[in-house]
Amino acid sequence: LLRSSQPLTGPNRKRCREDERLLGTVLDEGERGFIIDTRSAQAAKQARMTGGGTEPKSFYPQWRRLHRPLERGRPLQESFIKLVEACNDTSISMDRWLSRLESCRWLSHVKAALSTACLAAQCLDREEANVLVHGAEGTDTTLLVTALAQLILDPSCRTLRGFQGLLEREWIEAGHPFHLRCARSAYSHARLKQEAPLFLLFLDCVWQLSRQFPFSLEFSESLLLTLFDNAYASAYGTFLCNSDKERCLCKVKESTHSLWAWLNQPGERKKYLNPLYSHNALVIWPSVEPQSIQLWQGLFFRWIRSSQYLDEAWAEIQRLVEGN
């Protein structure tokens, strides 16, 4: 499983022999690979006019390109805002609620992300092929797909420690611009051009996995909610800045505490464990049928509906498990 940014072929279809050799070394003679492009074919074509583009088939004969467009910018942010507004409208009628839920298209974005991750995982697991994922810069939808694919395939990524390592590797070190993407929340009246809830979309997809496979993830919904909160406002330095370079320049590690160090304290760690967890070495293939994708109520309804009884139920489950 590889990831990158788009090739800079430009309008003149320039080639990069170094890239060709690099991808050539991944494949043995007769093997094939898949390039999953998270842009539409039209968007990839338009990118050539500004210096970007796609891999020319003639220079990458063993690689097959698949376009699976995922929203990453303004449309995704608007979808998030519309969903939050609908969830917080307590006077809404049933018909109006269903209409607004459909029109915001948030669940469609969740389905698209999971579908693309399943495609990448299927190419790796069932086709036994190499997979390269990229969109434009390689720091948004690319990371969404590669992180979810690993969660689907690798049971070690489903442990608490493994999931932290996945986030560190695929989101933080890979350069997801947290400061730009999470500068405001959906509750803010400010509209910044580069805002987009890509990390929230990832967390929502992880929640969908945890709901469909309640025994397979060692961590609970509480961890996902904590990660969401800290991505937007945090007392820790883990999600600060837009890249490792910026974090080094700002001396984030020297001047702030790590969120992971806090979460892994024995007293805190227990709060984020799934009491029903049982190690599952198999690949977990989520259903992406419309009936299977549900609204993450624990996040989107958290300010308008008390979770007291659900929290008490989980505490009792944990007590019973520990008693056995």
Q: For residue 34, what is the enclosing H or E element?
A: strand 33-37
Write down the pLDDT at residue 278: 96
* First-residue to last-residue Cα distance in the chain: 40
Q: Is the pLDDT of residue 244 over 90?
A: yes
Higher pLDDT among residues 104 and 194, named by residue: 104
Q: Summarize the confidence of residues 145-153 as an average pLDDT.
A: 99
CATH superfamily to which 2-323 belongs: Protein tyrosine phosphatase superfamily (3.90.190.10)
Write down the pLDDT at residue 221: 97
Q: Are 199 and 178 in contact (CB under 8 A)?
A: yes
Q: Summarize the confidence of residues 200-217 as an average pLDDT.
A: 98
Q: Would you say the pTM of this structure is higher than 0.85?
A: yes
CA distances from 42 to 54, 68, 69, 76, 218 (A): 11, 11, 10, 19, 41
Neighbours of 173 (CB within 10 A): 12
Q: Summarize the confidence of residues 217-241 as an average pLDDT.
A: 96
Q: Is the pLDDT of residue 227 over 60?
A: yes
Write down the pLDDT at residue 190: 59
Q: Summarize the confidence of residues 145-164 as an average pLDDT.
A: 98
Q: Is the pLDDT of residue 165 over 80?
A: yes
Rounded Cα distance between 217 and 207, Å, is 10
Write down the pLDDT at residue 147: 99
CA count, 13 A, side-chain hemisphere, 66: 14
Higher pLDDT among residues 318 and 2, named by residue: 2
Locate the domains of the chain by residue range: 2-323
Q: Is the pLDDT of residue 49 over 70?
A: yes
Neighbours of 193 (CB within 10 A): 9
Q: How confident is the model at residue 242 (pLDDT cuts 50, 70, 90)?
A: very high
